[in-house]
Amino acid sequence: MLDIAFIRTECDQVKNAARAKGVDVDIDRLLDLDERRRKLITENSELRARRNDLSRAVRELRGGDRDQAIAESKSVGARVTEVERELAEVAAAFDELMLRVPSIPAPEVPPGESDADNLEIRRWSQPRQLDFPVRDHVDLAQALDLVDFSRPQAYAGSRSYALKGDGVLLEQAVLNFALNHVAAKGFVPVSPPVLVKEQALVGTGFFPLGYEDTYRLERDGLFLAGTSEVGLVSLHRDEILDEKRLPIRYVGISPCFRREAGAAGKDTKGLYRVHAFNKVEQVVLCRNDEAVSEQEHHGLLRNAEEIVQALGLPHRVALACAKETGLGQVRKHELETWMPSRNGYCETHSCSTLHEFQARRSKIRYRDQSGSLRFVHTLNNTAIASPRILIAILENYQNADGSVTIPGVLRPYLGGRSRLEPRGESGSR
RNA sequence: GGGGAGAUGGCCGAGUGGUCGAAGGCGCUCGCCUGCUAAGCGAGUGUGGGGUGUUAAACCCCACCGAGGGUUCGAAUCCCUCUCUCUCCGCCA
């Protein structure tokens, strides 16, 4: 959410942002509603002031004067009711529209229509040249007995899977490794609620646009969050923080749930696009200072790169173009990891700066040195998301004999073993 | 799931129809006092919105005592609904 005063004075900037991001929002209508809204508020205040005066008079007057004051107050009261009903309508439309106004992209964000227009920033390492037929992660996982797809899909639907055996150990290993890596930098680990109220999803900017992509538990009026970011940011909703506490840096770990409503038929095979997964997520709340949040952004990005590099996975970092930059995002970098079977770099991490967007919606503020209240800036980035990252690990580390080498940093989590061996072959484990 | 209690400012806590944005205390800020600290004294200390001004400040008004609705000339105070918290019983992990 943006400041309505900003939208008023910089409406061209806002319109441009909406156009560049492909967001459908009628700014002129919003401004019109804003004007009507303020008019009604003013009228309402004046009427109430009058009524307050009359009430005071009623107390002091006697006889006919008193009756007259009561009569007038009654009619003013009736008018108040009328104005308030109208105001409620206008305000509801105004509020609804406000939730759809995008953040202004940072100046460096390139224009563009699709991820093909994202700007590659850097690459790390080279994909291995494999001198044997490349197997995809589904084959590898099945040969190594790490995943069962068919049975879970029968009783849990499409995009379901069950990790088993070393698959579970491998997942726990990457999650643990990433969690420890970020926690070691002072990020406070949090395992937040993933079953949340609508307000948490509105507050973090996922609603209203992401409604269709979110699981809803109708009986209980709750939703399953698609990321722990929802719970982490909401931890401070309605709070006035002490500036000395900033920046607040969290590393969350939680299951994540996504309906993938708009992705029917896309990436249906394997572990790439699933309805439920686990993610270690970094979230930062910092001072309302663009330079500070930019710095935090790059810190988050660096952490993610360190993790992927420690895992030895070739990857690149790209700056998302305007169209790929979400409603609330000011800038977004994607970290894309090499996946041999897809013959490309695929998104495994997403690093976002949101400035005040979430803080305004969630009312997270702090008092600055001059004593005035400011909204914090928020940022987030993946640390690791599984099982998607397992694709990259299995495929990049596969060997000609069907075994998979375990990245060095994960070995301590897997009993010191260096390889995952196909079942039944070369017995060591 | 059933019963009971409660929700007031940063915190504690008064307040049952008007003079209450709200007593008192604690905390915090500033000043005085003090060789330092403590104590003491004095002043200040919520948020949101609208308007005037014009962007620095200042001023005026409106709203907010869990949320929403109702009664009333007027509600923190009365009525209804909801939410949340605590607690006892049951159930489960």
How large is the ipTM? 0.85
Choose the final residue of a domain: A29, A63, A98.
Answer: A98
Check if A258 is active-site: yes
Predicted local distance difference test score (pLDDT) of residue A428: 41
Q: CB under 7 Å from any atom of strand B: which residues?
A: A 4, 38, 41-42, 44-46, 48-49, 51-52, 54-56, 58-59, 70, 73-74, 77, 81, 88, 365, 373
Residues of the domain holding A22: 4-98
Q: Are residues A304 and A393 in the same domain?
A: yes
Hey, is A92 helix, strand or coil? Answer: helix
Let me know whether A357 and A324 are in one domain. yes
- The DSSP secondary structure of A163-204, one letter per residue, reads E-THHHHHHHHHHHHHHHHHHTTTPEEE---SEE-HHHHHHT
C-alpha–C-alpha distance, residues A168 and A95, integer Å: 45
The residue among A69, A98, A127 that closes a domain is: A98
A344 within a domain of the structure (yes/no): yes
Q: How far apart are CA A373 and CA A356, in angstroms?
A: 13
Kindly state the helix (H) or strand (E) to which residue A39 belongs, with its residue range: helix A27-60
Give, in order, the Cα–Cα distances in Å from A60 to each of A47, A52, A57, A65, A254. Answer: 20, 13, 5, 10, 63
Q: Is A388 known to be catalytic? A: yes
* Rounded Cα distance, A179 and A174, in Å: 8
Its pTM surpasses 0.90: yes
Please, is A311 exposed, middle or buried when counting C-beta atoms within 10 Å of its C-beta (0-12, 13-18, 19+)? buried
- A170 and A33, same domain (yes or no): no
Residue A78 and residue A215 in one domain = no
Please, which pLDDT band fits residue A242 given cuts at 50, 70 and 90? Answer: confident
Alpha helices by DSSP H, A273-364: 290-310, 357-362
Which nucleotide has the shortest C1'-to-CA distance from A42? B50
Of A70, A98, A126, the residue at which a domain comes to its end is A98
In a domain, A398, yes or no: yes
Residue A103 falls inside a structural domain: no
Domain check: are A301 and A249 in the same one? yes
By C-alpha distance, which of A251, A308, A244 is closest to A283? A251
Residue with tokens 């009058």: A50
Residue A26 CA from chain centroid, whole number:
24
Give percent above pLDDT 90 in chain A.
80
A254 and A360 belong to one structural domain: yes
**Is residue A107 one of the residues assigned to a domain?**
no
| Residue at A426 is within a domain | no
The pLDDT of A279-303, averaged and rounded, is 96
Nearest nucleotide (C1') to the CA of residue A57? B73
Tens of pLDDT along A152-193? Answer: 999 999 999 999 999 999 999 999 999 999 999 999 999 998
Number of compact structural domains in chain A: 2
- Predicted confidence at residue A429, as pLDDT, reads 38
Give A424's pLDDT tier (boundaries 50, 70, 90): low
CATH (domain of A28) = 1.10.287.40
Is position A19 annotated as part of the catalytic site? no
Nucleotide nearest to A78 (CA to C1'): B73
Domain membership of residue A88 (yes or no) is: yes
Question: Catalytic: A151?
Answer: no
Residue A199 in domain: yes
Question: A203 and A87, same structural domain?
Answer: no
